[in-house]
Amino acid sequence: MTQNLPIPLSLLQPGDQGEVVLVQAKGQVRQRLLEMGFIRGARLRVEKLAPLGDPMELVIKGYHLSLRREESSCILVQPVAG
């Protein structure tokens, strides 16, 4: 999977990997995401989606995290070939 333009994290499929380009969220959500490791260049891998399709589970900085679509759609990532 090679693409040049960054896409929202919510579009990645389970198994896909990416690098964080930008956190577009504002305020409290933004600060929280930064603290949890969503900084420029951070590598992440989408693990799976919850049985009802939302939220998603991903691995970043070596730990597992779950994000709702609301939050994952405002994180831009550059897909990276696993």
Partner 1 sequence: MTLTVALAGNPNCGKTTLFNALTGARHHVGNWPGVTVERRSGTFEHGGTTMEVVDLPGTYSLAARSEDERVAVHFLASPEVDLVLNVLDASNLERNLYLSTQLLELGKPVAFVLNMVDDAENRGVRIDVPALELLLGGPIIPTVGNREQGINELKELLGTMARGESNRCRSITVDYGHDIEGELAKLQKEICRDEQLEASMPPRWLALQLLENNVEAKRVVSESHACEAITQQLARSFAFLEPHLGADGATLVAERRYGFAHGLVKEVASAPDDKKSPTAKLDALLTHRVLGIPIFIGVLALMYSLSFVLGKIPQDWIADAFKALSTFTAARLPAGELTSLLVDGVIPGVSAVIVFVPVIMILMGCIAFLEDTGYMARAAFIMDRLMHVMGLHGKSFIPLIMGSGCNVPAIQAARTIESPQDRLITMLVTPLVSCSARLQVFIVIAGTFFTPIKAAFAIIAMHFLGLGLAVLMGRLLRSALFSGPSSPFVMELPPYRLPMLKATLIHMWEKGSIFLTRAGTTIFAGATLVWFLSRYPGIANREWTLEYQQQRHAIAALNLPVVESEERLKAAQLAHESRIVNSSLAARLGQKVEPILRPILDPDHKRAEAWKDVIALTAGFVAKEIVVSTMAVIHQASEEPKEGERLSPLQVALRDGSGLTPLTALAFMVFTLIYTPCIGTIAMIRREAGSWRWAAFTVGYGLVLGWGLAWVTVALGRAMGFA
Binding residues vs partner 1 (CB under 8 A)? 23, 25, 27-37, 39-40, 42, 48-55, 57, 61-68, 70-71
Q: How far is the CB of 68 from partner 1 (least distance, A)?
A: 5
Q: Are strands 7-8 and 17-23 parallel, antiparallel or unpaired?
A: unpaired
Residue 51 or 81 with smaller CB distance to partner 1: 51
Q: How far is the CB of 54 from partner 1 (least distance, A)?
A: 5
Cβ atoms < 10 Å from Cβ of 76 = 17
Nearest CA to 22 among 4, 43, 41, 36? 41
Nearest distance in Å: CB 66, partner 1: 5
**Which residue's entry shows tokens 């994952």?**
72
